[in-house]
């Protein structure tokens, strides 16, 4: 195994941010005087392992090229799904002439608060792995599985009390054992050749995945979990902007 591989950093920024719901793509939200995308590039730039960055942007993006970044940037055009954006980035990297055992680091534009220490921890973990490593945090809260309907008994109670009859309401089905449950973050860092192969498998089998570690899971290939900071949240819903603004301010 190559334990001192080259590292190719990529930030995926080709999404729209539908859950965030703003009129501009969420990676261009301003926080602490910069866009999320600029913050994310700057975080990678703080690592001694990273000296340039591939930005994967939407085909109709006209904003990225107008911004100043903390690292030298080159560009690739992303796809409809996140994994397709990553695949486009991987192919752009391959075209520069690289080794299969090199590492590819993938980071979300929407995670601008990742600590440098975590970036380096996940890179160093991946260097010692045949396939790769990802940042993640053990879930902190009690987890409930939901169901749409309550029991027949409670339906009778509901009738007798004449309370909520909305059949679309969610109810608690059960509590899930959280002892082995983690929330995936980025960066996710993988061997280039292996990543290329698992993404090909995803495409061929039309798999529905939300991160690249999932592609390795489908092939039962082990990916190491590296405990990351809870500060590395993703801007997903409007409330996250309040948290992220506070985190970025506290970190600065
Ligand atoms: N086709 C896509 C979809 C997502 N991403 C990127 O992947 C990261 C994390 O994805 P997510 O939070 O799901 O972003 P969006 O797809 O933009 O959000 P939503 O699902 O709410 O539309 C973001 O930096 C986003 O720009 C991408 O490059 N290409
Ligand atoms: C890659 C990711 O950010 C890890 O948490 C995430 O999976 C992106 O997709 P999601 O649908 O927002 O979970």
Assess contact for 149 and 131: CB atoms under 8 A: no
Distance of CA 51 to the CA centre of its chain: 21
Beta-bridge partners for 247: none
Task: Name the residue at shortest CA distance from atom 13 of ligand 2.
Answer: 210
Crossing angle of helices 192-204/82-94, nearest 10°?
A: 140
Question: Is the CB of residue 185 below 6 angstroms from any atom belonging to ligand 2?
Answer: yes
CATH no., domain 7-139+182-251: 3.90.550.10
Task: Name the residue at shortest CA distance from atom 5 of ligand 1.
Answer: 15
Report the 10 Å Cβ neighbour count for 232: 24
Which atom of ligand 1 is found nearest the CA of 235? 12
Length of the chain in terms of residues written: 252
Which class for 89: exposed (0-12), middle (13-18), buried (19 or more C-beta within 10 A)? buried
State the pairing for strand pair 143-147/171-176. antiparallel
Task: Name the residue at shortest CA distance from atom 4 of ligand 1.
Answer: 15
What pTM value is reported for the model? 0.95
Domain(s) of CATH 3.90.550.10: residues in the chain = 7-139+182-251
Which tens digit of pLDDT belongs to each residue from 211-224?
999 999 999 999 99
Show Cβ contacts of residue 29 under 8 Å, excluding neighbours closer than 6 positions: 20, 22, 35, 36, 235, 241
Question: Is the CB of residue 212 below 6 angstroms from any atom belonging to ligand 2?
Answer: no
- Which ipTM was obtained for this model? 0.98
Mutating to test ligand 1, I would choose from 18, 81, 82, 237 the residue with most ligand atoms within 8 A of its C-beta, which is 82
Which tens digit of pLDDT belongs to each residue from 149-205?
767 777 788 788 888 777 778 999 999 999 999 999 999 999 999 999 999 999 999
Which tens digit of pLDDT belongs to each residue from 85-140?
999 999 999 988 889 999 999 999 999 999 999 999 999 999 999 999 999 999 99
* pLDDT number for residue 150: 63
Residue identified by tokens 């309040």 is: 242
Nearest to residue 71, comparing CAs of 54, 51, 43, 96?
A: 51
Secondary structure of 162-185 as H, E, C letters? CCCCCCCCCEEEEEECCCCCEEEE
């Amino acid at each position: 195994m190559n334990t001192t591989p080259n590292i190719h950093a990529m930030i995926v920024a080709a999404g729209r941010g539908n859950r965030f719901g703003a009129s501009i793509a969420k990676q261009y939200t301003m926080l602490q005087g910069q866009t999320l995308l600029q913050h994310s590039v700057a975080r990678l730039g703080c690592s001694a392992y990273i000296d340039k960055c591939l930005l994967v942007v939407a085909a109709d993006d006209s904003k990225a090229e107008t911004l100043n970044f903390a690292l030298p940037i080159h560009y690739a055009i992303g796809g409809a799904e996140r994994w397709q954006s990553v695949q486009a980035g991987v192919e752009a990297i391959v075209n520069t002439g690289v080794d299969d055992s090199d590492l590819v680091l993938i980071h979300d534009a929407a995670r601008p608060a990742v600590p440098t220490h975590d970036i380096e921890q996940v890179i160093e973990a991946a260097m010692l792995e045949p396939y790769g490593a990802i940042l993640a945090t053990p879930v902190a809260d009690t987890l409930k599985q939901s169901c749409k309907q309550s029991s027949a008994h409670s339906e009778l109670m509901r009738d007798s009390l004449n309370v909520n009859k909305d059949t679309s309401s969610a109810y608690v089905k059960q509590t899930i054992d959280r002892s082995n449950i983690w929330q995936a973050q980025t960066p996710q860092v993988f061997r280039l050749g292996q990543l290329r192969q698992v993404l090909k498998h995803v495409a061929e089998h039309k798999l529905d995945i939300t991160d690249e570690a999932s592609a390795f899971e489908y092939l039962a290939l082990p990916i190491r979990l590296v405990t990351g900071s809870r500060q590395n949240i993703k801007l997903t819903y409007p409330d996250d902007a309040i948290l992220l603004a506070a985190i970025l301010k506290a970190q600065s």
